[in-house]
Copies of this chain bind each other. A is one copy, B any other.
Amino acid sequence: MTADATIRDVAKQAKVSTATVSRVLNNSPAVSQETRRRVQEAILRLDYQPNPAARRLSAGRTNTIAVVLPLFTLPSFVERLRGIHDELSINDYDMVLYSVDTPEQRDQHLARLAHPSRADGLILVSLPPNDQQAQRFLETKMPVALVDAYHPDLSYVMVDDVEGGYIATKYLIELGHRKIAYLSDFLDTPFHPSMRHRYEGYRKALEEAGIAFRPEYHVCASHGRDTARTMAHTLLTLADPPTAIFTASDTQAIGTMDAAFELGIHIPKALSVVGYDDIRDAEYVKLTTVQQPLYESGNIGAQILLSLLESGNLTPHEQVMPLKIIERHTTAAPGG
């Protein structure tokens, strides 16, 4: 009742050796029914629980997966995390969380976590490692799965953001729009190559439709509803304003809607807006947007990692998740 029972106490109680108790603990088939029963009874009676630290030290595996992700204030992280958690939990792995806010923190955590004594595997969410780090993982044989991040040498589950930019723009084109602007974050931000990809998709769809790209139709701003409002304002007060605006995020789409409202521009009659992400607010404001499977991405990332662990084989798995347009009420044919 006081000090915790150890494997020795159980052995004594069941009148067997600790090795046998260990066998029962690990479901070894090489134990007779009767012995197994006695041991289990002793375990129950003593309320025995194996000491995880001892187990880890002895067995050389931690039964722990480290999950590293930035901020986790964005709704998308939560959903991804849930997907990861559920899969790990089913497979009886502990999930340790490391949140990263700066590149230095990222480097520091990744360096520490590259040691196999820390975790059996790593999941990096929205956090592409650099080449040196990837190399390190390979050298230390640390299994890694990237979720919403990419590195050529590692397993990943991602969305094709070029495709995302493409389908959003194409959707607008098919609606009849020709004057389509793109409002985004700055294209080359440290953690987010996706920003550039979406832009490329936008350009590609335009080109395919034979619509000339107009530089004044592409504006960048740091992320946020207010800055987006400002940028949208300049877009909408252009001499020849766009009839549709595609934004790199729902937050920016909402800022764009604010600007349209201020200027008395009716959505979707006079302006179509397409966002990206399908955050919760998107539903509330009836925003047409590009949706990616968040929960699934995390879940599949965890599955990939576990399969890596099981096979002991580090051949990278690559999984591209589908993206789709969710049509709501912020888009219509131009002038319609």
Central interface residue in A72, A81, A99, A117, by most chain B CB within 10 Å: A117
Contact (Cβ within 8 A) A49 B281: no
Interface residue from B53, B72, B86, B254 paired with A53 (Cβ < 8 Å): B53
- Asked if A94 is at the interface (CB within 8 A of a chain B CB), the reply is yes
Specify the chain B residue showing the minimal Cβ separation from A94: B96
Copies of this chain assembled into the complex? 2
Specify the chain B residue showing the minimal Cβ separation from A116: B4
Contact (Cβ within 8 A) A97 B85: yes
Assuming the contacts A1-B139, A78-B73, A115-B49, asked whether A99 and B94 have C-beta atoms less than 8 A apart, the reply is: no
A64-95 vs B: 1/0 string, CB under 8 Å?
Answer: 10000000110100110110011001000011
Interface segment, one of A54-62, A121-129, A231-239, A263-271: A54-62
- Asked if A106 is at the interface (CB within 8 A of a chain B CB), the reply is no
Contact (Cβ within 8 A) A72 B62: no
- A residues 21-53 with Cβ under 8 Å of B? 49, 51-53
Interface residue from B53, B97, B117, B284 paired with A97 (Cβ < 8 Å): B97
Separation of A25 and B1 alpha carbons in the complex (Å): 34
- Asked if A178 is at the interface (CB within 8 A of a chain B CB), the reply is no
Separation of A53 and B54 alpha carbons in the complex (Å): 7
Contact (Cβ within 8 A) A82 B73: yes
A95-119 vs B: 1/0 string, CB under 8 Å?
Answer: 1111100000000000010011110
Contact (Cβ within 8 A) A51 B85: no
Q: Cβ of A78: which chain B residues have Cβ within 8 Å of it?
A: 72-73, 75, 78
Shortest beta-carbon distance from A74 to chain B in Å = 9
- Asked if A280 is at the interface (CB within 8 A of a chain B CB), the reply is yes
Shortest beta-carbon distance from A58 to chain B in Å = 9
Q: Cβ of A117: which chain B residues have Cβ within 8 Å of it?
A: 4, 49, 51-54
Separation of A240 and B74 alpha carbons in the complex (Å): 43
Pick 13 A–B contacts, CB within 8 A, sort by A.
A49-B118, A53-B54, A53-B56, A54-B57, A54-B117, A72-B81, A73-B82, A75-B75, A75-B78, A85-B99, A95-B96, A96-B96, A284-B284
